[in-house]
């Protein structure tokens, strides 16, 4: 059950964009037991796209093509596929209506060039796109001297591609593949590095183990991927649960969630269950300096966060810390804005102003400028007000401005998480 | 002078590693006028590597192969190349001596498996590796029915690859190519869709045009990529400027920046130059409901934003809008939190509380819940206070919660941008 992934785009072969789609799709396909035999990338050139489709289709049971289905003249994937199939492009009425209502809902006339996005080769099925105007294509094509391939065409925009791939491509590959069952679970941790986690897991990470345990890192979150491969689903599920339990033994509460659970979501769930928070809904306020709203943004990424998140103060200027949160200007002058007393006063001030039992504060030096010998870039103080008591801790965070801000917001969430769990932080 | 880049590795087709080498090499090659016709990636499988080398060599003047020349059993690139050439692998004495001294210098016996790293096909030249144990290979190979290709094999480790590519690959391609220089510029727009932008550009987007103009979309930003290909750098630069000017004619201020410039950065520059803002530094405050801090986060992504950004109010609860910004609770009860009067009152309240000449406000329904027939998910009101006057506009934004929040924050920045430019918004 081999698969080829074909990416289309001048920006890719010119090196202006790194292709992350192919790796993402490959990982998904591997998890359902489908071997990817090749990635190919060609420019927005119809002859090259045709040749690539022909060649890949002859060697693969599945061909996934991404990119080249936008509305502009350099988008030529649908034309190339139709040419390989010796089939005409035909208007798909369902998608044309969808496109027209899309533009109507925005009070705009549909530009004529968008009509091409409703054209698919005769005999092909249309794949719905809930996040953009490019419909996908799903078709079995015949290839001279070969079995023929099931071809899926999806947009190159990662967000659109991922939704369509998960919904309409992967289940088909899994079903037709019909081989061993591979179950996957991902466990997420934050706070320790990949090598520390690996050391704690020890022999669980042996390469030939089944279920296998691997680690990946994304934006400071170290995740464990457990893949269980067995002939039957029940055996795979049982082996999976066993290995997940073995991972939890050394890591304990370092694991904050699994699969698509996020840190702000877990903190939200803990707040919704917390007795003190339940008496004061919404129960949480934030006071941010160097993160400039990122902590509030993360909390409100979660639909329904209004149940527990009340308000935030982005006190970027020192005067704002004084005026909005009551941090004495003499305190800032004496200790600096990035200091324990200021972090404590920000958290206490936010809880008081918002009248919430919980408040988090962040004040730090995100860089690249502003570092000092005694307070280098990456120095961040995080404060917590909880039920009238305040505490604060300093961290030295590594990386550039974006990483320092991201890790600071996640560390603030982690501090609140351990407080709500009633446990000490293990790092 | 076409080139193919072939990457070898199980970790690539399994999606465990994102291939960044191909994009890096492509960019280098484009800069010396060498067009990359395709990227290919195959696993550590000798038959697949042989097939890929044969196919790519038949279609390209240059073939650059990275990966698969390590010392272990799954490293098969040199064997595959030798098989395609019908040539035996021979020990390269210079590199064998190099390897032996490498290990001797570290006080270790050379493991026998490393001997393979000194083997190259008969007739090939060895490429020195100053950063690792894998020597590279440089050879002209004949292909039945084709011109033949110059093949370079380099390690997959980016650090080693980059040194060897820059020193021993790129100069050869440049010299043999003797061809054109390619210059690139990217222009960014926000507010209109890709198809509208393409329509405004019209014939500038013709496929055979040089310089070429193509569009790409990322997170709502529609970008124009201009590629100018000419024999001399001066001619390329002149043609580039001419085409950029031709793009600016229909698009005008829709283009907010070029290359690595971002929307918040440009807004920051406009604020730093604005006479009213210069009298009140910092000059900007924000009041956010549905975006929950994202607008503040975007503004403070920019180092130095404290020059113009003072503070933000994340008024997620309705009570916060009243208590922190002075939005009358009766107004919220009468019109709803997502309404023109509330957006206006939030902006005015933020400017007043922060004592800044400018303030932006955002209140909307990010979903997935909370939509109503008259105010569906995606309804967002954005308010602007500027020099004592307030205005507000409603938008219907498409997509999921994340997209709606992202676009709302970018639209707020765009509203302020046009105000600071002293121009009406063209959409």
pLDDT of residue B72: 83
Residues of chain A positioned with their CB less than 8 A from the CB of B214: 10-11, 44, 72, 74
Q: For the residues A377-394, what does the mean pLDDT come to?
A: 97
Q: Which of A120, A337, A121 is nearest to A129 (CA)?
A: A120
Distance CA A235, CA B34 (A): 53
Determine whether A97 is exposed, middle or buried from the number of CB atoms within 10 Å of its CB (0-12, 13-18, 19+). Answer: exposed
Give tens-digit pLDDT for B284-333: 999 999 999 999 999 999 999 999 999 999 999 999 999 999 999 999 99
Whether B48 has its CB under 8 Å from any CB of chain A: the answer is: yes
Is residue A146 scored above 90 in pLDDT?
Answer: no
Q: Does an H or E element contain A149, and which?
A: strand A149-154
Mean per-residue pLDDT over chain B, rounded: 93
SS3 content of chain B, % helix, strand, coil (to 5): 45, 25, 30
Across the interface, whether the CB atoms of B38 and A41 are under 8 A apart is answered yes
- Does residue A211 have a cis peptide bond before it, meaning omega lies within 30 degrees of 0? yes
Checking if the pLDDT of A227 tops 80, the result is: yes
Confidence at residue A178, expressed as pLDDT on a 0 to 100 scale: 65
- How many percent of chain B have pLDDT more than 70? 99
pLDDT band, residue A205 (cuts 50/70/90):
confident
Is A71 an interface residue toward B (CB < 8 Å)? yes
**Contact of A114 with A83, CB cutoff 8 Å:** no
- Between strands A181-190 and A221-230, the pairing is antiparallel
Per-residue pLDDT of A314-365, as tens digits, reads 999 999 999 999 999 999 999 999 999 999 999 999 999 999 999 999 999 9
User: In this complex, do A73 and B43 lie within 8 Å of one another by their Cβ atoms?
Assistant: no
Neighbours of B205 (CB within 10 A): 21
3-state class (DSSP) for residue A165: helix
Hey, is the C-beta of B221 within 8 angstroms of any chain A C-beta? Answer: no
CA atoms of B80 and B90, how far apart (whole Å): 14
Mean pLDDT of B211-235: 89
- Does the pLDDT of residue A47 top 90, yes or no? yes
Q: Indicate if the pLDDT at residue B104 is higher than 80.
A: yes
**Does the beta carbon of B418 lie under 8 angstroms from any beta carbon of chain A?**
no
Closest by Cα among B226, B227, B228, B215 to B189: B215
Question: Is it the case that residue B73 has pLDDT exceeding 90?
Answer: no
Q: Which of B53, B69, B27 is CA-nearest to residue B166?
A: B27
Q: What pLDDT sits at residue A1?
A: 72
A37 with B13: Cβ contact below 8 A: yes
Query: B173 and B397 in contact (C-beta within 8 Å)?
Result: no
Instruction: Report yes or no: A131 at the B interface, CB cutoff 8 Å.
Output: yes
What pLDDT does A419 receive? 98
Whether pLDDT at B178 is above 70: no
By Cβ distance, the residue of A113, A303, A366 closest to B198 is A113
Query: Which one of A16, A102, A105 has the shortest CB-CB distance to B184?
Result: A16
Q: Say yes or no: B368 contacts chain A, CB-CB below 8 A.
A: yes
Q: Tokens 């193919």 label which residue? A: B4
| A145 has a pLDDT exceeding 70 | no
- Judged by CB atoms closer than 8 Å, whether chains meet at B18 and A14 is answered as no
By three-state DSSP, how is residue B379 classified? Answer: strand
The shortest CB-CB distance from B400 to any of A28, A131, A315 is to A131
**Closest residue to A71, CB basis, from B24, B195, B294:** B195
B143 conformational bin, left if phi > 0, alpha if psi -120 to 50, beta if neither: beta
Which of A47, A311, A318, A362 has the highest number of chain B CBs within 10 A, making it the mutation to test binding with B? A311
- pLDDT over 70 (residue B46): yes
Q: Do B19 and A23 touch (CB under 8 A)?
A: yes
- CB of B313 within 8 A of CB of B350? yes
The residue among A261, A250, A220 whose CA lies nearest residue A397 is A220
Using the predicted structure, report yes or no on whether residue B410 has a pLDDT greater than 90: yes
CB contact under 8 A, B312 and A313: yes
Contact A320 B310 (CB under 8 A): yes
Report the candidate in B112, B103, B104 with the shortest Cα–Cα distance to residue B132. Answer: B103
pLDDT at A207 over 70: no
Hey, is the C-beta of A111 within 8 angstroms of any chain B C-beta?
A: yes
- What are residue B391's DSSP bridge partners? B384
Chain B CB within 8 Å of residue A401 CB: yes
**SS3 for A39?**
strand
Q: What is the pLDDT of residue B105?
A: 80
Chain B residues 281-340 with a CB less than 8 Å from chain A: 282, 286, 288, 290-297, 299-301, 303-306, 309-317, 319-320, 324
Binning pLDDT at 50, 70 and 90, where does residue B146 land?
low
Mean pLDDT value of segment A192-205: 87
Is residue B151 a contact partner of residue B138, using CB atoms and an 8 Å limit?
yes
Backbone angles phi, psi at B264, to 5 degrees: -60, -30
Given this model, what pLDDT does residue A149 score? 93
- Residue A89 backbone phi and psi in degrees, to 5: -80, 135
Residues A125, A173: Cα–Cα separation, whole Å: 16
The pLDDT of B38-49, averaged and rounded, is: 95
pLDDT band at B269 (very low <50, low <70, confident <90, very high): very high
pLDDT for residue A176 is more than 90: no
C-alpha A334: how far from chain center = 41
Quote the ipTM score: 0.80
Tell me which residue of A304, A14, A288 sits closest to B31, measured CA to CA.
A14
Cβ(A320)–Cβ(A309) under 8 Å?
Answer: no
pLDDT value at B205 more than 80: yes
pLDDT of amino acid B358: 98
Question: Rounded to whole angstroms, how far apart are CA atoms A306 and B370?
Answer: 12
Averaged pLDDT, A158-162: 94
Residue B96 to residue B110: CA distance in whole angstroms? 10
Contacting residues of A for B295, CB less than 8 Å apart? 293
One-character DSSP codes across B119-177: EEETTPEEE--SSSS--EEEEEE--TTS--EEEEEE-SSHHHHHHHIIIIIHHHHHHHH
Q: In Å, how far are A214, A360, B14, B47, B48 from A420, measured between CA atoms?
A: 29, 13, 39, 57, 54
CA distance linking residue A106 with residue B398, whole number of Å: 9
Question: Nearest 10 degrees: CA dihedral of A231, A234, A236, A242?
Answer: -150
Q: Locate the DSSP E strands across A367-410.
A: 379-386, 389-396
The overall average pLDDT reported for chain A is 93
Give the number of other CB atoms < 10 A from CB of residue B374.
7
Q: Is pLDDT at A220 greater than 70 in this prediction?
A: yes
> Can you give the pLDDT at residue A179?
63
Q: Would the pLDDT of B38 be above 90?
A: yes
């Amino acid at each position: 059950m081999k698969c080829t992934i074909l990416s289309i785009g001048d920006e890719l072969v010119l090196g202006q964009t790194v292709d992350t789609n192919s790796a993402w799709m490959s990982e998904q396909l591997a998890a359902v037991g489908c071997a990817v035999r090749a990635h190919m990338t060609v420019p927005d050139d119809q002859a090259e796209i045709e040749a690539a489709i022909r060649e890949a289709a002859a060697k693969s049971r599945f061909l996934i093509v991404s990119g080249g289905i936008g509305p502009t003249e350099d988008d030529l994937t649908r034309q190339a596929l139709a040419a390989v199939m010796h089939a005409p492009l035909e208007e798909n009425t369902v998608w044309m209506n969808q496109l027209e209502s899309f533009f109507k809902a925005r009070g705009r006339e549909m530009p004529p060039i968008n009509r091409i996005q409703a054209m698919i080769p005769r005999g092909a099925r249309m794949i719905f796109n809930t996040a953009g105007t490019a419909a996908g294509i799903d078709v079995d094509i015949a290839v001279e001297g070969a079995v023929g391939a099931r071809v899926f065409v999806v947009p190159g925009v990662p967000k659109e591609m991922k939704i369509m791939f998960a919904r309409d491509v992967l289940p088909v590959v899994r079903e037709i593949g019909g081989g061993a069952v591979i179950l996957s679970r991902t466990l997420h941790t934050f706070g320790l590095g990949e090598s520390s986690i690996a050391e704690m897991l020890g022999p669980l990470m042996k390469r030939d183990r089944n279920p296998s345990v691997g680690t990946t890192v994304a934006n400071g979150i170290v995740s464990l991927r457990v893949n269980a491969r067995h002939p039957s689903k029940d055996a795979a599920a049982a082996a999976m649960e066993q290995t997940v339990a073995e991972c939890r033994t050394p890591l304990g509460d370092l694991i904050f969630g699994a699969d698509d659970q996020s840190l702000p979501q877990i903190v939200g769930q803990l707040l919704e269950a917390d007795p003190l928070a339940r008496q004061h809904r919404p129960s949480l306020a934030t006071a941010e300096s160097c993160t400039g709203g990122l902590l509030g943004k993360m909390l409100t990424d979660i639909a329904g966060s209004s149940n527990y998140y009340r308000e935030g103060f982005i006190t970027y200027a020192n005067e704002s810390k004084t005026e909005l949160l009551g941090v004495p200007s003499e305190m800032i002058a004496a200790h600096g804005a990035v200091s324990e007393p200021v972090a404590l006063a920000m958290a206490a001030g936010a809880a008081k102003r918002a009248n919430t039992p919980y408040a988090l504060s962040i004040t730090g030096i995100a860089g690249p400028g502003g570092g000092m010998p005694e307070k280098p870039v990456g120095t961040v103080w995080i404060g917590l007000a909880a039920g009238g008591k305040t505490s604060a801790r300093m961290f030295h965070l590594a990386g550039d401005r974006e990483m320092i801000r991201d890790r600071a917001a996640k560390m603030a969430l982690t501090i609140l998480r351990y407080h709500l769990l009633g446990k000490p932080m293990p790092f």
